[in-house]
Amino acid sequence: MPAPTLRSLARELGLSRTTLSDALRGSPRVKAETVARVRAAAKAAGYERNPLTGAVMSQLRRSRGQQFRGVLAVIEIIEQPQTSFGVRYNESLAAGIAARANDLGFKVERFIVGPNGVKLGRLDTILHTRGIQGLILLPAVGFPDLSELSWHRYTAVYADYFIDHPPLHCVCSDHYRSMVALLHELHARGYRRPGLFMEIALDERLQFRWEGAFLALQKYLPGITEVPALQVREVTRETFTEWFKRYDPDVVMGHFPVAMDWMKACGAKLPKSHGFVCLNSLRTAGDCAAVDLRTGLLGARAAELVIGQLLHNEFGVPEQPSLTTIPAKLIDGPTLRPMGTPKAKAPANAKT
Amino acid sequence: MPAPTLRSLARELGLSRTTLSDALRGSPRVKAETVARVRAAAKAAGYERNPLTGAVMSQLRRSRGQQFRGVLAVIEIIEQPQTSFGVRYNESLAAGIAARANDLGFKVERFIVGPNGVKLGRLDTILHTRGIQGLILLPAVGFPDLSELSWHRYTAVYADYFIDHPPLHCVCSDHYRSMVALLHELHARGYRRPGLFMEIALDERLQFRWEGAFLALQKYLPGITEVPALQVREVTRETFTEWFKRYDPDVVMGHFPVAMDWMKACGAKLPKSHGFVCLNSLRTAGDCAAVDLRTGLLGARAAELVIGQLLHNEFGVPEQPSLTTIPAKLIDGPTLRPMGTPKAKAPANAKT
DNA sequence: CGAAATTCCCTGACGGTCCGAATTCATTCG
DNA sequence: CGAATGAATTCGGACCGTCAGGGAATTTCG
């Protein structure tokens, strides 16, 4: 059975398509009794109005091709003061979202939930009155709870690993794969004692994907000397220096570029004697090799997903949430030996 | 002067509205020269295509058609004889694909590439003559190369972790997350010496995500006694038994249910003294706890992605491939202690 | 040279909206 | 009492950009 349309439904009821349209939108032009009859029949026939279609038609009809844009809400949940890095990360995501949304005929509006923004209940009414149905949630500290929103009205994507309240589709960088690719690259450049330092909280929210990949690859890349990862609550100069001197990694990976100074203070020459890679290019000033998490692309993909769902009239919490990931990319820099550089010590009896 | 519309512009140029529409979207139905002329005129007149309007219209036109909207090709690349498990896995995926595709008005057809099927070049012509544009590639052993196909005609998804020739969107189970969830569950049930055995080849194609998660979580779950993973080229009774006796894990995870027999032969009682979880429910006969990789859901999601791209006229290799994953689910079974069972040894001085 | 394939463009139909016109029915006024 | 006014409802026309199918003109091939 083909999906019912306004016209087919009108024929069945012996009314005109116009009356149906007006009735379903609750126009005062139509008698209340007729409205009720039409709505009941529509429900019985399984007719579903696509609000986006309606909006487009309306604007089209009214204003002669004047550029009409749909609206996406980009929502930030800010419970505590943000770090400057967190701000950069979210801005970069938002820029990617805005760019892709614009290509697809949407504009974005930012909302902030929390002490310095609106309450969740207030957001719900704002979105409702503005007719906004597509939401993109920027990563929040901890595990946010948005189950209060009237989800039957919205379709949404969370730009982080997972969210349980409610369980939504997520879009995030593929940290595991990125670490794997990074280690392969470093290995190809001749590094054999890769070291990883990290604040536990950063990796914990990723379910330790950075370290998980690091541990597994240390085992399976040929010729590696294992260096235990430095995982601490807070990375300080003292703990780093102690670790660095004790295990002497030939390349260091971590989030904080300041570690380069600490390494130099230990006598390391970058890139001659040691290498360094920052695990997030947004934390650097461009003066070292770094991992680009492709936040712009992530935002773009998030926008695509939400807009696709809007066009297909899919609202509410998905039956089965999925996670969409994009691998990161290494940005080369002056803190790494280039490819093909002879290793510090040429292997005596190399055996591939 | 009011904003120009497709129709007004068409009148000026002496063309039909359809030709304008096709030209502006770059359809191959219109001569290149005409396209250029139209585009120039549109620019001069200040006509701007509204992508949202176009998308909505397209959606509307298509959905109105009969329920049959096209055919998806499900393609298997079989270079070597398949294992019976491999067959089950692919069949389960295919079933999920077919079900979801059917809901969305698509039919599926199976194709086999390889010694017992068609050559790649032949497949290309078959797909072309049949007018099939949406492809879903089932997992292949190794890293298949499909770059020969005329990709500008197709839109595709690969049902595995990654493919480089060409780089396509992929859909796969989230093995890392699944292992994390499994270890948390086992921990909650009181197990403290989880053990993992695996054939290297199985984990290698997943970039060691099973073991990566295992290694990381062993470090961070409280009260765990670490048991080294048994990673071997081929799991035999001898190697398993030696490992099992030496480290005495209190719960064993692995792909091969036969290990239960080997454990029993060592004196283990399931579930009383030891637990067992099979890492892929398709390998079991339903007689043990197992991880359900949700192949049906994966197939469904793959179908959704391809159909979404078809409906949006997105063909060719994506600009940036992404990976979509779905977490697995533990199927409880008689080889695990239920929740809340007192541990074998109550901790003397428990400290949460 | 005739038949078949290809290239290129057009007509017709479509869904949901807005606006003006048409229809019905009650009320008011000459 | 008949006609005019007005309010309450419903309908028809026109419109947006798209898609499916058709047809004329050109090229290719037997």
Which bases of strand C sit closer than 7 A to a protein CB?
7-20
How would residue B95 be classed by pLDDT, with cut points 50, 70 and 90?
Answer: very high
Closest CA to B220 of B179, B271, B173: B179
Does A99 or B42 have the greater pLDDT score?
A99
- Strand D contacted by A18 CB (< 7 A): yes
- Strand D contacted by B25 CB (< 7 A): yes
Contact call for residues A134 and A71 (beta carbons, < 8 A): yes
Show the tokens assigned to A337.
């030996």
- Strand C contacted by A16 CB (< 7 A): no
Mutation site, A162, A171, A219, A294, interface B, largest B CB count within 10 A = A219
Distance between A214 CA and the closest CA of chain B, angstroms: 8
pLDDT digits (tens, 9 = 90+) for A272-296: 999 999 999 999 998 999 999 999 9
Tell if the CB–CB gap between A105 and B53 is shorter than 8 Å: yes
pLDDT at A309: 92
> D25 C1' – A309 CA distance, angstroms?
44
pLDDT at A171: 97
> C21 C1' – B24 CA distance, angstroms?
37
Query: In angstroms, how far apart are the furthest CA atoms of chain A?
Result: 93
Closest nt to residue A60, judged CA to C1': D16
**Mean pLDDT, residues B29-56:** 85
Q: Which residue of B has its CA nearest to A57?
A: B53
Q: Which residue of A has its CA nearest to B2?
A: A64
Tell if the CB–CB gap between B215 and A213 is shorter than 8 Å: no
Q: Write out chain A residues lying below 8 Å of B57, CB-based.
A: 56
> C14 C1' – A49 CA distance, angstroms?
16
Q: State the nearest residue by CA to the C1' of C10.
A: B16
Rounded to the nearest 5°, which phi and psi values hold at B173? -70, 155
Give the 3-state secondary structure of residue B133: coil
Is residue B351 over pLDDT 80?
no
Per-residue pLDDT of chain A (352 residues; tens, 9 = 90+): 567 788 888 888 888 888 888 888 887 888 888 888 888 888 888 888 888 888 888 887 776 545 678 899 999 999 888 888 889 999 999 999 999 999 898 999 999 999 989 999 999 999 998 889 999 999 998 889 999 999 999 999 999 998 999 999 999 999 999 999 999 999 999 999 999 999 999 999 999 999 999 999 999 999 999 999 999 999 999 999 999 999 999 999 999 999 999 999 999 998 999 999 999 999 999 899 999 999 999 999 999 999 999 988 889 999 999 999 999 999 999 999 988 655 444 333 333 3
- The continuous run of DSSP H or E covering B136 comes out as strand B134-137
Q: Whole-angstrom Cα distance, residue B111 to residue B226?
A: 46
Q: Whole-angstrom Cα distance, residue A167 to residue B182?
A: 19
Burial class (CB in 10 A: 0-12, 13-18, 19+), A318: middle
- Strand C contacted by B61 CB (< 7 A): yes
Q: Whole-angstrom Cα distance, residue A140 to residue B1?
A: 48
DSSP β-bridge partners for residue A134: A72, A155
Rounded to the nearest 5°, which phi and psi values hold at B23? -65, -45
Tell if the CB–CB gap between B323 and A325 is shorter than 8 Å: yes
How would residue B277 be classed by pLDDT, with cut points 50, 70 and 90?
Answer: very high
Q: Whole-angstrom Cα distance, residue B240 to residue B332?
A: 24
- The continuous run of DSSP H or E covering B158 comes out as strand B155-158
Q: Whole-angstrom Cα distance, residue A332 to residue A289?
A: 5
Cα A23 to its chain centre, rounded Å, is 40
Other residues' Cβ atoms within 10 Å of the Cβ of residue A38: 22
Q: Write out chain A residues lying below 8 Å of B325, CB-based.
A: 322-325
Q: Whole-angstrom Cα distance, residue A345 to residue A350?
A: 11
Tell if the CB–CB gap between B322 and A326 is shorter than 8 Å: yes
Q: Which residue of B has its CA nearest to A161?
A: B177
Residue with tokens 């026939």: A45
Tell if the CB–CB gap between B3 and A177 is shorter than 8 Å: no
pLDDT at A80: 87
Helix axes B51-64, A295-311, angle to 10 degrees: 40
Strands (E), chain A: 70-77, 106-113, 134-137, 155-158, 169-173, 194-199, 230-232, 251-254, 275-278, 289-292, 323-326, 329-331
How many Cα atoms sit within 13 Å of B24 on the Cβ side? Answer: 20
Show the tokens assigned to A73.
């809400």
Q: Which residue of A has its CA nearest to B214?
A: A212
Residue B66 gets which letter from DSSP?
A: -
- Strand D contacted by B50 CB (< 7 A): yes
Please give the domain boundaries of chain A with CATH numbers for all domains.
8-47 (1.10.260), 70-173+297-326 (3.40.50.2300), 175-293 (3.40.50.2300)
pLDDT at B352: 34
Show the tokens assigned to B300.
């469904």
- The continuous run of DSSP H or E covering B195 comes out as strand B194-199
pLDDT digits (tens, 9 = 90+) for B319-350: 999 999 999 999 999 999 988 654 444 333 33
Of B3, B47, B55, the CB nearest to A105: B55
Task: Give the pairing of strands B169-173 and B323-326.
Answer: parallel
Contact call for residues B282 and B309 (beta carbons, < 8 A): no
pLDDT at A343: 47
Q: Whole-angstrom Cα distance, residue A220 to residue B209?
A: 12
Alpha-carbon radius of gyration of chain A:
27
pLDDT at B126: 84
- Strand C contacted by A18 CB (< 7 A): yes
Strands (E), A204-304: 230-232, 251-254, 275-278, 289-292
Q: Whole-angstrom Cα distance, residue B46 to residue B348?
A: 80
For B31, residues 6+ apart whose C-beta sits below 8 A from its C-beta are none
- Strand D contacted by A14 CB (< 7 A): yes
Show the tokens assigned to A181.
């690719």
Tell if the CB–CB gap between A220 and B204 is shorter than 8 Å: yes
- Strand C contacted by A31 CB (< 7 A): no
How does the average pLDDT of chain B come out, rounded? Answer: 89
